A and B are shown apart, each in its own frame.
Chain A
Amino acid sequence: MPARANAAIVDRGQPWDGMPTIIILDAAHRVAARYPARRRRWLAAAALVLALVLAVAPVAARPARAADVLIFAAASTANAITEICRLAEREGLSRIAPAFASSSALAKQIDNGAPADIFISANVRWMDFLERKNAIDRGSRRDLLRNALVLIAPKGGGLAKLPAVVAIGRGFPLAARLAGGRLAIGDPAHVPAGIYGKQALVSLGLWPSVAGRLAPTANVRAALTLVERGEVEAGIVYATDAAIVAGKVTVIGAFPAGSHEPIIYPAAIVAGRDREAVRQVFAFLASAKAAAVFARHGFAPIAAKP
C-alpha cells in the first residue's frame, strides 16, 4: 500500500484546532481545584508541558523517506493519479505519495515551501503563479491533460427530467430550473473548476441570473458530493468527476469548449527538487501507459511535443 499524504493533512487551509490543548488545560483545572495549593503548582506545570507537547506534535510531522516522491495534484485527478502510482510501483519506480486538494491551496503551499516534488495543476493560472515566483523548474513544465466542464444534477432531481443537451447554449433555462435550489460549484474566487464555470456562465449570459444562487465549495469534489447527496439542484464539475459517480448523478449537458479558457492541466517539477527518482516519475506521468490510465478516467492526454 503506497504511503499517502492525504488532502486532510496537506490542505492546511483549515485553521489549526487547539482542541486537545484546551481539553488538557480544562481537565487540569478541574483536577487541580481538588488539591491543596502546593500540589496544584506541580499539576499546572505538568499540564502546561503536556499541552505544549500536543500543540507542537502536529508540526513535527513524519519526514518523507528519501525514496518517496511527493506529488501535489489537483483534486480532479485523484482517481487517475492514484491508479498511476500503483502502476508506477509495479513498474519498479520509487514509491509515490500523492496529495490532492484544490490547485489554489496546493500552489499556495508550494509557494510557502511545502516539500512537494511534482505539481499538477488544474489550471494554467496557478502554474504561471508559481513560475513567476521561481518555484518550479521552468524547463520541466509541460501541458499534461485536457478536460471538459459539464452541468450535472442529482439522479431523479428536477433538472434531470430535462432532455439531455449536447452543448449548453445561451438560452438554457438554468435559473428557472434551479427553482429556489442552489448550484454547487467550486469557489469561483480560486478553485479552477469554479473559475472555468464562471467564465462559461458569463460568456453564455447565464451568470447574472444564477450568481445569487451558488453554493461555492472548497474544491470540485465537494461540489460533486453536494450533487451526489441531492442537497443542490445542480452542479458544475469536470466531465471526469461526473463519470466517477455516474450512477448517482445525471449529466445534463456540456459547456461548449469555446465558452471558457481551455481546461489544460500543466505539470512541472518543483524548483530545487530535481533528482533522478523525480525525473523518472515525471517522465512516467507523460508516458503511454500513464496516458492510457488518464484516458480511461475521461481525461484527454496531450502528446509530448517532439
Chain B
Amino acid sequence: MNLSLTPIEIAALALSIKVAVAAVVVSLPFGIAVAWLLARREFPGKTLLDGLVHLPLIVPPVVVGYLLLVLLGRKGPLGAWLFDVFGVTVAFTWKGAAVASGIMAFPLIVRAIRLSIESVDRGLEAAARTLGAGPVTVFVTITLPLIAPGILTGMILGFARSLGEFGATITFVSNIPGETQTLPLALYSVVQTPDADAAAMRLVVISVVLALAALLASEVVARRVRQRLRG
C-alpha cells in the first residue's frame, strides 16, 4: 500500500482544512452574537429567528446549496451586489465552499454557545455591574471566559460539520479539483468510478485520520480551558 499521498489527495486534504477553518472563523462572531440574542433577549420574531437559524439542520443540504446558488451566484441579487461593490465572487471558489460549510455548521455553533450562555450565573454579571463595569466589560471579562467551553464545543462541532459537508457544496460551487474539491467531494467522485475501491479506501482513511486529529486537538485545548476556569 503506497503511503505517500497523491497530488489530488493532498489538494483535497488541504482544501478541506482551509474551508473548515475559514467557515468556523467567519461564523463564530455571528454565532456568538445570535446565541447571546436568543439566550438573553426577548423580542418580537424571536421564534422566527430561532427557526431560521435551525433551517440548515432540517432542510436537505442540496436545497441549501441551491438557495446559495440563487442568492450568491454571479446572477443572484447578493452575488451581483458583492461583485459590483467589492469585486468579489464566491461562486466556484473555495470561499463559496467555505460559505456553504459555514451556513450548514451555523446552527450547531449557535446551539452549543446558547446552552453555555444560559448556564452562566447572572449573579456574577450583576456583581460586576455593581462594581462599576460597563456592559461590554462585563461581557468580555466575565461572560466570555465562562462560556469559553461552550464556544470551544461549538467550534469543534462546526469544524466537524464543515469537514463532512457535501450536498450544499457540490450544488453551489460544483466539484473543481484544487478549488472546491474537499475530501467528501473527492470521495464522491472516486466512489462513482467503478473499480476505484482502493482509491476510495485511501480517502476514507485520510478523512478518519483528519477527524481524529481534530478531536484530539480539541480535547487538549478543552482540558486547558477547564483547568484555567477551575484555577
Q: List chain A positions with a Cβ less than 8 A from chain B.
A: 8, 13-15, 17, 19, 22-23, 26, 29-30, 33, 102, 104-105, 107-108, 111, 126, 129, 182, 184, 187, 189-191, 214-218, 222, 226, 229-231
- Chain B interface residue count, CB cutoff 8 Å, equals 33
State whether B170 touches A218 (Cβ < 8 A): yes
Residue on A nearest B178 in the bound complex, by CB:
A212
State whether A14 touches B62 (Cβ < 8 A): yes
* List of B residues within 8 angstroms of A19 by Cβ: 57-58
* List of A residues within 8 angstroms of B193 by Cβ: 104, 189-190
State whether B57 touches A108 (Cβ < 8 A): no
What's the least CB distance linking A19 to chain B, in Å? 5
State whether A189 touches B189 (Cβ < 8 A): yes
* List of B residues within 8 angstroms of A231 by Cβ: 69, 73-75, 91-92
Across the A-B interface, the 5 shortest Cβ-Cβ residue pairs: A190-B192, A215-B174, A104-B192, A230-B75, A129-B194
* List of A residues within 8 angstroms of B130 by Cβ: none
State whether B74 touches A230 (Cβ < 8 A): yes
1/0 contact string of B96-119 vs chain A (CB within 8 Å): 000000000000100100010001
State whether A214 touches B176 (Cβ < 8 A): yes
How far, in whole Å, are A126 and B164 apart by their CA atoms in the complex?
28
Pick the contact of B189 from A129, A190, A229, A230 — CB < 8 Å?
Answer: A190
How far, in whole Å, are A162 and B57 apart by their CA atoms in the complex?
45
Beyond the given pairs A216-B175, A226-B174, 12 more chain A to chain B contacts, judged by CB atoms under 8 angstroms and listed by A's residue number, are A23-B57, A23-B58, A26-B111, A104-B192, A104-B193, A108-B194, A190-B189, A190-B193, A216-B177, A218-B188, A231-B91, A231-B92
Q: Counting chain B CB atoms within 10 Å of each CB, which of A19, A190, A229 scores highest?
A: A19
Pick the contact of A222 from B108, B111, B171, B177 — CB < 8 Å?
Answer: B171
How far, in whole Å, are A13 and B175 apart by their CA atoms in the complex?
13
Is B145's CB within 8 Å of the partner chain A? no
What's the least CB distance linking B110 to chain A, in Å? 11
* List of B residues within 8 angstroms of A190 by Cβ: 189, 192-193
* List of B residues within 8 angstroms of A17 by Cβ: 60-61, 167
* List of B residues within 8 angstroms of A216 by Cβ: 174-177
Q: Identify 29 residue pairs between A and B in the complex whose beta-carbon atoms are under 8 Å apart, listed by A's number.
A: A8-B60, A13-B192, A14-B61, A15-B184, A17-B167, A19-B57, A22-B57, A23-B57, A33-B119, A105-B192, A108-B192, A108-B194, A111-B194, A129-B194, A184-B174, A189-B192, A190-B193, A215-B92, A216-B176, A217-B170, A218-B170, A218-B175, A218-B188, A222-B171, A229-B70, A229-B75, A231-B69, A231-B74, A231-B75
* List of B residues within 8 angstroms of A229 by Cβ: 69-70, 73, 75
How far, in whole Å, are A154 and B155 apart by their CA atoms in the complex?
41
What's the least CB distance linking A290 to chain B, in Å? 28
Segment 162-203 of B: residues with Cβ below 8 Å from A: 164, 166-167, 170-171, 174-177, 184, 188-189, 191-195
Residue on B nearest A125 in the bound complex, by CB:
B194
Q: List chain B positions with a Cβ less than 8 A from chain A.
A: 57-58, 60-62, 69-70, 73-75, 91-92, 108, 111, 115, 119, 164, 166-167, 170-171, 174-177, 184, 188-189, 191-195
Pick the contact of B175 from A126, A129, A187 — CB < 8 Å?
Answer: A187
How far, in whole Å, are A230 and B174 apart by their CA atoms in the complex?
14
How far, in whole Å, are A267 and B90 apart by their CA atoms in the complex?
41
Residue on B nearest A104 in the bound complex, by CB:
B192
What's the least CB distance linking B71 to chain A, in Å? 12
* List of B residues within 8 angstroms of A13 by Cβ: 188, 191-192
How far, in whole Å, are A19 and B167 apart by their CA atoms in the complex?
13
State whether B189 touches A187 (Cβ < 8 A): yes
Pick the contact of A126 from B184, B189, B191, B194 — CB < 8 Å?
Answer: B194
Residue on A nearest B70 in the bound complex, by CB:
A229
* List of B residues within 8 angstroms of A184 by Cβ: 174
What's the least CB distance linking B158 to chain A, in Å? 12
Residue on B nearest A182 in the bound complex, by CB:
B92
* List of A residues within 8 angstroms of B60 by Cβ: 8, 17
How far, in whole Å, are A191 and B188 apart by their CA atoms in the complex?
12
Knowing A14-B167, A182-B92, the reply to whether A215 touches B176 (Cβ < 8 A) is: yes
State whether A8 touches B62 (Cβ < 8 A): yes
What's the least CB distance linking A223 to chain B, in Å? 9
Residue on A nearest B114 in the bound complex, by CB:
A30
* List of B residues within 8 angstroms of A23 by Cβ: 57-58
How far, in whole Å, are A23 and B74 apart by their CA atoms in the complex?
34
How far, in whole Å, are A23 and B56 apart by their CA atoms in the complex?
12
How far, in whole Å, are A30 and B170 apart by their CA atoms in the complex?
33
Q: Counting chain A CB atoms within 10 Å of each CB, which of B69, B111, B192 scores highest?
A: B192
What's the least CB distance linking B76 to chain A, in Å? 9
* List of A residues within 8 angstroms of B75 by Cβ: 229-231
Pick the contact of B166 from A15, A22, A214, A230 — CB < 8 Å?
Answer: A15
